Amino acid sequence: MKKVVFEGAGVAIVTPMNDDFSVNYDKFAELIEFQIANSTDAIIVCGTTGEASTLEDDEHTKVIEFAVKQVNGRVPVIAGTGSNETAYALKLSKDAEKAGADALLIVTPYYNKTSQRGLIAHYNYIADRVNIPIILYNVPGRTGVNIQPATYLELSKHPNIVATKEANGDVGALVETIALCGDNLHVYSGNDNQITSFMSLGAKGVISVLSNIMPKETHDIAAKALEGDFKASAQLQIEYLEIANKMFVDVNPIPVKQAMNMMGLKVGPCRLPLIDMNEANTKIVEDVLRKYKLM
């Protein structure tokens, strides 16, 4: 059985920006402390929600270094280092390892749309050259590439590839993947509306957008499942389902960042090409925040 990077709810944390779009490190420290104080089980930096695709190389490394220093070993820090160029993904991964990350989150190559054999070659190439665990990230809605269960089986044979963040929404494929890989590949839900269902099948937790605004509540959904109390977990999953879904009325992380700003967390804007929501979607997010008494 491979070592588990974390169990429970890890936050795919936003990267707060100043008005000039520079990274707001003072606010970033506040957000990390807010997460840890509210029982978040891991901090995932420089992912999709962290706008990694708009960070320059030096910013990317500095954000990881800052998070590692601020967390100071209290929970694992997992760094997003994916790219559609294998050599560049390796560079980001080695930089993250040097910065002190506990594990890597590596999304499938996007736009190139490689084959399943290409995925195996890509991930094994990186895994051969780093010394910290890799969590795969499968989100075909954003990348155009979907990791098949048989491909997961091949990838799980590498000792450094320990888990996947699965966000393809296909529970049937998830069951097949778990059946094939067993304890050689741990699973995290990549969707906040599927935490209980994934964990009832053996997933270790979730890498969550919702945790940015409701860290304790998201942690509790996962914690109840880890305790084997799936009825209580399901009750919480259903209770927070509406707000979890409304964080995707526009492209992530636009809604969650605007929600945080409405809540007074002052995380600033997204970087272009992402822009603020239109009036209708802003109203949807405002209404759901009021419903859950977050503003």
237: which 2 tokens?
């999953």
- Chain mean pLDDT for the chain: 97
Query: Does residue 21 carry a pLDDT above 90?
Result: yes
Q: Is 48 helix (H, G, I), strand (E, B) or coil?
A: coil
| Mean pLDDT, range 7-19, rounded to an integer | 98
In this structure, the chain runs to a length of 295
Q: Please pick, among 123, 152, 165, 224, the residue that the annotation labels catalytic.
A: 165
Q: What is the pLDDT of residues 193-213, one digit of tens each?
A: 999 999 999 999 999 999 999
- Rg, Å, the chain Cα set: 18
Distance, CA of 95 to CA of 45 (rounded, Å)? 14
DSSP, res 267 = -
pLDDT digits (tens, 9 = 90+) for 147-171: 999 999 999 999 999 999 999 989 9
High-pLDDT (> 70) share of the chain, %: 100
Q: Return the CATH fold of 8-239.
A: TIM Barrel (3.20.20)
Interval 3-22 mean pLDDT: 97
Sign of CA dihedral 113, 115, 116, 120: negative
- Which of 51, 47, 42 lies closest to 16 in space, CA to CA? 51
From the candidates 27, 123, 137, 257, give the one annotated as an active-site residue: 137
Q: Which amino acid is at 174?
A: L
Over residues 220-237, the mean pLDDT reads 98
Residue 197 pLDDT: 96
pLDDT, one tens digit per residue, over 243-278 is 999 999 999 999 999 999 999 999 999 999 999 999
Active site residue 125: no
Q: What are phi and psi of 180, to 5 degrees?
A: -75, -40
pLDDT band at 132 (very low <50, low <70, confident <90, very high): very high
User: What pTM was estimated for this model as a whole?
Assistant: 0.96
| Mean pLDDT, residues 215-237 | 98
d(CA 39, CA 222): 11
Q: Are 148 and 201 in contact (CB under 8 A)?
A: no
- Reply yes or no on whether 2 is catalytic: no
pLDDT (tens digit per residue) in 75-129: 999 999 999 999 999 999 999 999 999 999 999 999 999 999 999 999 999 999 9
Given pLDDT bands bounded at 50, 70 and 90, which one contains residue 1? confident
